[in-house]
Structure 1
């Protein structure tokens, strides 16, 4: 199962990033241009949150079955000093859960805003903060600290 979920998690990351960036661009355009908040924008918010929750679910299952995390949990005193092990055992999951919470709070705040400008503004700000957290916590292939391939084969 690990061999299937790890590439799936890597693939869904791109779907999360694409939908989130698209939603942020639409939000900033709508906010700056004073457009009306459409049904498409509402649906886009829901899609972003759903894709993000799917990714989080895959990630939590991976966390539970990962050999790296297992090593981290069973050898905490030594593992906490190993950058890559600590990243996957503690840092990555913590930051990603925070990002999901931030984006979900933003989504819920958008639902209760009355004006279109407030909806776009709220969406733009909260989703952008969440994206920043996500981008800072992905193990990019170019990262000198903890790198993983950008695309994993199945």
Structure 2
């Protein structure tokens, strides 16, 4: 299970990043150009949030079958002093959860706005905040916190 979920989680992260970047591009472009909020923009908003939620479900599932988080939960006093264990057992999970909440709030708020400019602006601000949280918490290969490969094989 773990050996399947880990590459899947790694793959879906790229889908999250691509959909967020595209949604952010569309929202800033629509906001600053005073464009009409089209059905396509609403679809982009919806699918970006949906892909993020799918990643959250995979991440939670991975969290509960991972040997790293199992060690963290069973040895919390020692685990908080081990950078990699603490990162995956606490920091990564918490920050990603917060990012998904931020994206979800932005999606819901944008959906309920009455004008096109407000929809684009709301989406741009909240999705950008979510993206920044995500980018700071991904275990990039160059990260000083802990590093993982960009792609994992199944």
TM-score w.r.t. length of structure 1: 0.99
Deviation for aligned residue 1:144: 1.9
1:6 aligned residue? 6
Indicate whether 1:143 and 2:140 are aligned: no
How many Å separate the matches in 2 of 1:2 and 1:46?
29
Counterparts of 1:89 and 1:96, CA distance in 2: 12
Deviations 1:83-133 (A, max 9, x none): 110000000110001000000000010111111000000000000000000
- Show structure 1 runs of 5+ residues with no match: none
Q: Residue 110 of structure 2: SS of its match in structure 1?
A: helix
Q: CA deviation at 1:46?
A: 0.7
Deviations 1:10-40 (A, max 9, x none): 0000000000000000000000000000000
RMSD after superposition: 0.5
| Count of residue pairs brought into register by the alignment | 154
2:101 corresponds in structure 1 to: 101
Question: Quick check: 1:75 aligned with 2:75?
Answer: yes
Distance 1:142 1:49 in 2: 27
Q: Normalization by structure 2: what TM-score?
A: 0.99
